[in-house]
Amino acid sequence: MRRIYVVGTADTKGEELTFLADAVAATGATVARVDVGTRPSTTRVDVTAAEVAAHHPDGTEAVLGLDDRGAAVMAMGIAFTRFIQTRDDIAGIVGLGGGGGTSIITSGMRALPLGLPKIMVSTLASGDTAPFVDVSDIVMMPSVTDMAGLNRLSRVVLHNAAQAISGMAAAPAPQASGKPSIGLTMFGVTTPCVTAIADQLRQDYDCMVFHATGTGGRSMEKLADSGLLSGIIDITTTEVCDLLVGGVLPATQDRFGAIARGGLPYVGSVGAVDMVNFWAPPTVPERFSGRRFYHHNPNVTLMRTTAEENRRIGEWIGTKLSLCEGPVRFLIPEKGVSALDIEGGAFFDPEADAALFEAIERTIKPNAGRRIERLPLHINDPAFARAAVAAFLDIARQ
């Protein structure tokens, strides 16, 4: 029997937890009330805080009864994450909380599969939600008022959350097409290339395009780690620039890790590795004064990478890809790596590109399954897209 899990800290939000659970039950759904509080509950629940806390690696005592609330919240987050991963009856999950509750509940939500309905009613939902959502598909719903007892507005918000999670859980998601899924990375300056690749492959593959903004690459690799991708065409590896140079859309140190772990067929390139991303001009660190910039719009400023930066970036990419035991094809577009890096373009710099290409070739360790190919083409040339498609089909059909 699948149930909707209604989760909250029953020590401080017992009234709200009961109201939300009853509202979900009123839709006809089966409910599991789960307490993730660190003090005695003030309402009836189906899963007690002690049951959740017992899933902590160091046992219940590591979670409950601590004098340090911060430590207790952190420990309960660990316990709830491990608890939620043991459940096989979740039709959907809805949580409510302030700062502590939001941290605990969303940590567990992030561990659940993408596509499983998740709603978090939170006092923090109108601010920076990135730490809570990360690369998951959690829906953050602002509580508007604080959760300090029910009022006329909080009743409406919680009622709406109940209706939403019940509706999401009641109708199953459309079945997948049956085509194998592949991940592709794209930026505005590599759009012609990636669009052409997807158009050529869409008949046989479910093409999932990810915007290379740091979270995009991480989302793609999370799907790869989850076994939901059959291959990757990673044309746009620009996130590495922000990681190594200090931009605002960085990859993590685990970029390319999923490819190494899973052995997926992989075709990569150096799309948009000519740029580091910042927000509006005043946000650019002083140490970069005097560099070459392109103002993409009033809120996005791009900085051209130098030959030395490109050398470091190329070495980093090459070292990571040398760990991949699956089939790898890495394509180098000799005539430019983005729409700006083209003869006459704002970021055209053959010397910087040459440093990048040389570093990758020097660092990647080629073998029978791992190859680098230089192409006398710009990355957005239709012929480059055709070459990428041919390379992918060659390794995907082996």
Q: How many CB atoms lie within 10 A of CB 366?
A: 12
Residue 186 three-state SS: strand
Q: What does the alpha-carbon distance between residue 115 and residue 24 come to, in Å, rounded to a whole number?
A: 20
pLDDT in tens, 49-63: 999 999 999 999 999
Could you tell me if 178 and 43 are in contact, meaning their C-beta atoms sit under 8 angstroms apart?
no
Q: Are strands 275-278 and 31-35 parallel, antiparallel or unpaired?
A: unpaired
| Alpha-carbon span 53 to 39, nearest angstrom | 12
What is the three-class DSSP state of 183? strand
Q: What is d(CA 187, CA 194) in angstroms, rounded to the nearest whole number? A: 9
For β-strands 275-278 and 300-304, DSSP reports them as antiparallel
342 phi/psi in degrees, rounded to 5: -145, 150
The Cα–Cα gap between 88 and 130 comes to 27
In the chain, the amino acid numbered 358 is E
Q: 398 falls in which pLDDT band (50, 70, 90)?
A: confident
Asked whether the predicted pLDDT for residue 307 surpasses 90, the reply is: yes
Hey, what domains does the chain have and what are their CATH numbers?
Answer: 3-170 (3.40.50.12020), 181-396 (3.40.50.12030)
Q: Tens digit of pLDDT for each residue in 89-139?
A: 999 999 999 999 999 999 999 999 999 999 999 999 999 999 999 999 999
> Given this model, what pLDDT does residue 178 score?
84
What are the tens digits of pLDDT across the range 256-301? Answer: 999 999 999 999 999 999 999 999 999 999 999 999 999 999 999 9
CA distance 250 to 212: 9
| Run of H or E residues at 373 | strand 370-375
* pLDDT tens-digit map of 172-183: 777 666 899 999
**Residue 176, pLDDT score:** 63
